[in-house]
């Protein structure tokens, strides 16, 4: 089995690439790192790409069209600061043949070991509150998913929310790292140093296309409506009309989902050791 990793010259990607390469070789996988995409490499079985950048979509689509596997790596769903200035994130998420592992990640009910290491608390359903939080995404995310500009998309979704919840305060929370975000008339803007948990304190639901804010909302006991293909989609409400009477799955359902999610993200040490590859290979063999 041969894997080709398309990696930029960024130090963070170099660290991830070296870790993935070391782990792959422990499983007998021929793993090569290249820095420029020039089309599908015919003798490769797998293409590996990190985060959303210029050629990411092309790499994934062309390798899949050629009948080959693709591994997509991005920031972990749940993570803590590792203290390493070159690579400050503790976990990196890994999906096979898609941007999200939705097609398979719940096929095998995973044990609680990796979830327990994250020290996350699942709070009971919050019954108070009338706010609706809309969590936006970046321009890069919108281009990848062929969505309108983030501000225009937010206006469209907020108008739909207003139809279902005319008396609710709508909190517009753009992606915190997106510096071009602007306020939207008729909403409360969540920017600056405002933390998501502050906005969820009086919320009855969070709406997003695919932001990881949905994960934090579920942990806090606030129902979510995921409009795209996010990792929280299996626990999402289904329709805008559900915002009239928001619902959330039982805590034991959220617990199992969290355990399954924990088997889709890995530390650098777990990549190097081959532990991450042992799970990844379940989708490759």
Q: Which domain holds residue 240?
A: 131-251
Together in a domain, 80 and 139? no
Together in a domain, 9 and 53? yes
In the prediction, which pLDDT does 137 show? 92
The mean pLDDT of the chain is 93
Which of 22-26, 65-69, 179-183, 276-280 shows the lowest per-residue confidence on average (mean pLDDT)?
179-183
- Alpha-carbon gap, residue 191 to 195, rounded angstroms: 8
Taking the alpha carbons at both ends of the chain, their separation in whole angstroms is 10
In this prediction, residue 85 has a pLDDT band, given cuts at 50, 70 and 90, of low
Together in a domain, 268 and 235? no
Q: Looking at the 3D structure of the chain, how many domains does it have? A: 2
Together in a domain, 83 and 145? no
In this prediction, residue 87 has a pLDDT band, given cuts at 50, 70 and 90, of low
Q: Is residue 194 part of a domain?
A: yes
Q: Is residue 242 part of a domain?
A: yes
Q: Is residue 222 part of a domain?
A: yes
The pLDDT tens digits for 212-226 are 999 999 999 999 999
In this prediction, residue 84 has a pLDDT band, given cuts at 50, 70 and 90, of low
Together in a domain, 12 and 98? yes
- The CATH number covering residue 176 comes to 3.40.50
Question: For residue 88, is pLDDT > 60?
Answer: no
Provide φ and ψ at 79, rounded to 5°: -155, 165
Tell me how far CA of residue 202 lies from CA of 150, 169, 180, 221, in angstroms.
25, 10, 27, 11
In the prediction, which pLDDT does 276 show? 97
Q: Is residue 179 part of a domain?
A: yes
Q: Is residue 115 part of a domain?
A: no
How far from chain centre, in Å, is Cα 249? 20
Taking residues 158-174, report their average pLDDT: 97
In this prediction, residue 201 has a pLDDT band, given cuts at 50, 70 and 90, of very high
Question: For residue 3, is pLDDT > 70?
Answer: yes
- Alpha-carbon gap, residue 47 to 6, rounded angstroms: 7
The contacts of residue 85 (CB under 8 Å, 6+ apart) are none
Q: Is residue 219 part of a domain?
A: yes
Together in a domain, 39 and 141? no
Together in a domain, 36 and 72? yes
Together in a domain, 241 and 141? yes
Taking residues 179-198, report their average pLDDT: 92
Q: Is residue 110 part of a domain?
A: no
- Alpha-carbon gap, residue 168 to 62, rounded angstroms: 45
In this prediction, residue 169 has a pLDDT band, given cuts at 50, 70 and 90, of very high
The pLDDT tens digits for 247-272 are 999 999 999 999 999 999 999 999 99
Together in a domain, 167 and 231? yes
In the prediction, which pLDDT does 82 show? 53
Together in a domain, 235 and 277? no
Question: For residue 193, is pLDDT > 90?
Answer: no
Q: Is residue 60 part of a domain?
A: yes
Question: For residue 81, is pLDDT > 70?
Answer: no
In this prediction, residue 66 has a pLDDT band, given cuts at 50, 70 and 90, of very high
- Alpha-carbon gap, residue 15 to 12, rounded angstroms: 5
Structure-model confidence comparison of residues 39 and 12, the more confident one: 39
Taking residues 40-50, report their average pLDDT: 96
Together in a domain, 23 and 85? yes
- Buried-state track 154-175, b at ≥16 Cβ within 10 A, e below 16: bbebbeebeebbeebebbbbbb
The contacts of residue 199 (CB under 8 Å, 6+ apart) are 131, 133, 171, 173, 190
């Amino acid at each position: 089995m041969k894997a080709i990793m398309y990696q930029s010259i960024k130090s963070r990607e170099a660290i991830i690439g070296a870790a993935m390469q070391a782990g792959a070789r422990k499983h007998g996988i021929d793993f090569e790192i290249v820095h420029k995409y020039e089309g599908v490499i015919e003798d490769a079985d797998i293409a590996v790409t990190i985060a959303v950048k210029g050629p990411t979509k092309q790499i994934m689509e062309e390798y899949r069209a050629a009948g080959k596997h693709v591994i997509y790596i991005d920031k972990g769903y749940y993570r803590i600061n590792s203290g390493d200035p070159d690579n400050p994130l503790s976990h990196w998420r890994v999906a096979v043949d898609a941007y999200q592992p939705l097609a398979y990640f719940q096929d095998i009910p995973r044990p609680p070991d990796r979830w327990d290491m994250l020290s996350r608390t699942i709070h009971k359903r919050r019954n108070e509150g009338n706010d609706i939080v809309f969590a936006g995404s970046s321009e890069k995310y919108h281009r990848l998913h062929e969505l309108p500009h983030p501000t225009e998309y937010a206006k469209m979704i907020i108008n739909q929310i207003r139809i279902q919840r005319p008396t609710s305060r709508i909190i517009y929370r753009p992606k915190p790292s997106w510096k071009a975000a602007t306020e939207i008339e008729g909403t409360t803007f969540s920017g600056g140093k405002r933390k998501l948990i502050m906005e969820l304190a009086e919320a009855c639901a969070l709406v997003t296309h695919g932001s990881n804010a949905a994960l934090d909302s579920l942990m806090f006991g606030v129902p979510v409506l995921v409009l795209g293909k996010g990792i929280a989609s299996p626990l999402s409400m289904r329709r805008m009309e559900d915002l009239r009477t928001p619902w959330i799955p039982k805590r034991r359902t959220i617990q199992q989902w969290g355990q399954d999610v924990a088997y889709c993200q890995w530390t650098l040490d777990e990549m190097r050791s081959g532990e991450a590859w042992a799970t990844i290979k379940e989708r490759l063999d």
